[in-house]
């Protein structure tokens, strides 16, 4: 399967190379799209090295192409991990102001979407965040819920990114 892997700007983005490795071990071809905030947490060059493919970071690659259309057509599935509260809201509301959210809207309805959120447990429990998750489920997206664990803020609770294996299994 050709998997387009979107990486949001949550601290769990540092786990992205391990997710790429798990996807490749499962036999998938992987291309990565990283948000501007995600680039602050995981290096696109590292993702290119583990995926074996160029990494997309902007709507404006300078070659006149349309990466949001090209990538949406290339993939069989879109995986987003970590998905921040902001990404969940933008996907659920149809807001498209960067490459990842724009290509999400450009996906054909038949394409599989898997979203693995990660955030502070208080944020995860907010009714508005849960409403966005419910809206995304209503469109057919598979949500790989965050798990209990140590959070970047020093707290412990439900909000840690699911394991690379669990995220990969959700594509099946």
pLDDT value, residue 60: 84
Residue 135 has pLDDT above 80, yes or no: yes
Average pLDDT over residues 120-137: 97
Q: Which domain holds residue 97?
A: 2-169
**46 in Cβ contact with 73 (< 8 Å):** no
B/e letters for 137-150, b = 16+ CB within 10 Å, e = fewer, are: eeeebebbebeeee
Mean pLDDT of the chain: 95
Euclidean distance between CA atoms 96 and 93, whole angstroms: 9
Residue 63 has pLDDT above 80, yes or no: no
Residue 64 has pLDDT above 80, yes or no: no
**9 in Cβ contact with 38 (< 8 Å):** yes
pLDDT value, residue 96: 95
| From 32, 39, 75, 153, active-site residue | 153
Average pLDDT over residues 102-107: 97
pLDDT value, residue 62: 73
Q: How far apart are the first and last CA of the chain?
A: 10
pLDDT value, residue 152: 87
Burial class (CB in 10 A: 0-12, 13-18, 19+), 159: buried
Average pLDDT over residues 13-27: 97
Average pLDDT over residues 84-104: 97
8: nearest Cα among 79, 112, 111: 79
Token digits of residue 26: 């499962």
Determine the longest span between alpha carbons in the chain, in angstroms.
Answer: 46
Please state the domain count of the chain. 1
The answer to which of 13-17, 57-61, 78-82 has the lowest mean pLDDT is 57-61
**160 in Cβ contact with 148 (< 8 Å):** yes
Euclidean distance between CA atoms 123 and 144, whole angstroms: 16
Indicate if 153 belongs to the active site. yes
Which CATH number fits the domain that encloses residue 7?
A: 3.40.50.1950
């Amino acid at each position: 399967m050709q998997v387009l892997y979107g990486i949001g700007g949550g601290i769990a983005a540092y786990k992205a190379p391990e997710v790429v490795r798990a996807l490749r071990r499962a036999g998938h071809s992987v291309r990565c799209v990283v948000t501007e905030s995600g680039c602050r947490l995981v290096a696109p060059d590292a993702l290119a090295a583990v995926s074996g493919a160029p990494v997309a970071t902007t709507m404006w690659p300078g070659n006149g192409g349309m990466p949001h259309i090209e990538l949406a057509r290339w993939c069989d599935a879109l995986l987003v991990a970590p998905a921040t509260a902001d990404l969940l809201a933008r996907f659920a509301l149809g807001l498209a102001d960067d490459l990842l959210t724009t290509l999400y809207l450009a996906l054909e309805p038949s394409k599989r979407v898997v979203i693995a959120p990660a955030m502070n447990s208080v944020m995860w429990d907010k009714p508005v965040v849960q409403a966005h998750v419910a809206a995304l489920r209503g469109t057919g997206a598979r949500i790989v819920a965050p798990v209990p664990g140590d959070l970047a803020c020093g707290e412990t609770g439900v909000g840690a990114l699911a394991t690379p294996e669990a995220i990969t299994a959700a594509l099946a």
